[in-house]
Chain A
C-alpha cells in the first residue's frame, strides 16, 4: 500500500499519498484541552521534565537529571545509543512508569499528584507507537485501531466508521478484518500508528517506528508523522536511524548514559 504512482510531476509519491489523505483525516481541534476539558494555554509546554531520575526497582538510575520542555506542536527526535534510556524516557512520558525523583508535568498537571482516576483521561491525549507495535493479535485490524475509542466509551457506530476511515487513510482499507499476524511489518506499523492517532492525541510518541521497515516505508511513515505534526500534534520519535534524523531535520533530544546531553538541532543544521 502507500501507493502514490499518480503523483503530479515534482511531487514525491510519498508526499502525494499524504496530500491525498490530508483532507480525509479528521484533523483535531487546534485548541488543546486539559484532561478535565479546560482550555490550555497554547504556549504552555504540553510536557515538562524537571530534574527527573528513574530507576527500575532497586537498580541504578537509567535516567538522571532529565530536564526539557515540549511546546504544543513541537517535533523532536529522541536519539542515542542502545541502552541510553530512550524507551524509558518514553515510558515516563506515556505514564507507564513513575519517576524515582524529579517532576513531570503533562498538560500542566503534575503527574506525581495525579489521581489514578485522572490518568486514563491524560493517556487518551497521548498516542503511542510502540517499537514492537503491541497490537492485540486476537483482534482484527479494525478492532485494534478502534480500541482507544471503545475504552473511551464512544458509540459503536462512530467507532467502526472512524476506525475504518483511518485505516483507509493509512492504506489498509482492504485489511479491516485481518489479524495482525497476517500483516507485513510495515502494515502492522501503520495499524499501530492508526491506533495511536485515532483519539486525535495532543502528543504522539513513537519508539523506533521505522526499526522494522525498509527505508522507503520509513520515509513514508516520517511524512505521515510530519503531517500529523502539521495538524498540531506534538511528536516525539525515538530512533536509531541517523539518516532519517539528518533528512527530516527536527530538533533532537540526545540521550547518553541516561542523561540528556545535547538538546538542540541535528548536527550540521541551523535553528
Chain B
C-alpha cells in the first residue's frame, strides 16, 4: 500500500526537515520518562515484596531493677518463643542489644550515651504473607506476657513511599502523553505545510487518477522515513543516558533503598517508545492528508 516510490518533491519542503529533530527530542524525553517510571515501578514492586510478611517486634526494656538486663533478655526470649509457636511464623530472630545499638549509630553515634538510653529490644519477624496474621493479632498474642510490646509492619511509611512513587509514575505517564500529543501536533503541522507546498503536484496526481490513499501513502512514507531518523537518534541518546545513570547509581549501596533496575518490563516499555513514535508519525500524516484531501474537489 505504501509503495516504494515517492512522487512528491519532499526535499523542497523546508518544514519537514525539522521533523527528525523534533521526533528525536520527543523520543528522548519520552524514553527518559518511561525509563524513570519503569525503574521506580520496579523498585516499588521489589520493596513491597521485600517487606511483605516482614515485621519488627519492639520489646520495651525492663527498667529500674537490679537485674534489668537479664529480665529484658528473658522477656525477649519468651516473646520469641510465643512468636515461633504462631502458625504463620516463618522465623523470629532476636536482635541483640549490641546489634540494635549498631543500627542506631548513624543517628545517635556510639558511646556511653547510647548505652544509657532505654532502647527497646527488637525481634525480626517473618510471617507467611498469605496468612491472616497481622500486626494487631501478633501484638494480641504477645501482650499477655510482654506488656508494652509494639509490632510494626512498616505499612505506614512504606505506604507513603509507595504513594509517592505512584505519583511520580503518574506524572511520568502524563509527560509521555503530553509528548505524544506534542508529536502529533508537530506531524500535523509539518504535513499540512507539505500539503500546501505540494498542492500543485497533488492536483496533478489527482488528475492523472491517483486515489487519496495513494497520495496519503506518499506522505505517510515520507513521515515514516523522517520519524525513523529522529527515532533512531532519540533512542540511542536515551539509552546512553539511562545506561549512564545506571552506572552512576550502581555503586551506591543504600540499605534503606531498594535496587534501582529497569527490569524486563522496563526494557519492553522502553522499546515501545520508538515504535509508538513511528506509528504516531505515520498514522498522523496519513490521517491529516486524508482529511485534507477529502475537502478538495
Partner-B contacts on A (CB < 8 A): 94-98, 116-117, 120-121, 123-124, 128, 134, 136, 138-139, 143, 147-148, 150-152, 195, 199
Contacts and interface: CB of A to CB of B under 8 A. Distances in A.
Given A95-B297, A98-B297, A134-B200, A139 B7 contact: yes
Given A120-B211, A124-B208, A147-B7, 15 more contacts: A95-B207, A98-B297, A116-B294, A117-B211, A124-B209, A136-B7, A139-B7, A148-B208, A150-B7, A151-B205, A151-B208, A151-B210, A151-B214, A152-B209, A199-B208
B208 A97 contact: no
Interface in B2-23: 5, 7, 9, 11-12
A95 B207 CA distance: 8
A150 B204 contact: no
Nearest to A137: B9
Contacts of B207: 94-96, 123, 128
Interface string B195-207: 0000011011111
B212 interface: yes
B201 A147 contact: no
Contacts of B210: 120, 151
B23 to A, nearest CB: 25
Contacts of A147: 7, 204-205, 208
B3 to A, nearest CB: 8
Nearest to A123: B209
Contacts of A143: 7
Contacts of B9: 136, 138
A31 B244 CA distance: 72
A70 to B, nearest CB: 19
A267 B285 CA distance: 55
A96 B209 CA distance: 11
Contacts of B294: 116
A163 to B, nearest CB: 13
A176 B79 CA distance: 97
A123 B208 contact: yes
A151 B211 contact: yes
A97 B297 contact: yes
Interface string B266-292: 000000000000000000000000000
Which of B7, B205, B294 is packed against the most chain A CB atoms within 10 Å? B7
Interface string B129-161: 000000000000000000000000000000000
A132 to B, nearest CB: 10
Contacts of B212: 116
Contacts of A94: 207
A228 B204 CA distance: 22
Return the 4 tightest CB-CB contacts between A and B, nearest first: A124-B209, A151-B210, A138-B9, A148-B208
A123 B212 CA distance: 13
A266 to B, nearest CB: 29
Which of A94, A116, A143 is packed against the most chain B CB atoms within 10 Å? A116
Contacts of B5: 150
Which of A120, A148, A152 is packed against the most chain B CB atoms within 10 Å? A120
B204 A96 contact: no
Contacts of A98: 297
Nearest to A150: B5
B297 A96 contact: yes
B5 to A, nearest CB: 7
Contact of B204 (A97, A116, A134, A199): A134
B271 to A, nearest CB: 35
A199 B214 CA distance: 17
A177 B208 CA distance: 21
A243 to B, nearest CB: 29
Contacts of B203: 96
B200 to A, nearest CB: 7
A96 B212 CA distance: 14
Interface in B77-97: none
A215 to B, nearest CB: 28
A236 to B, nearest CB: 15
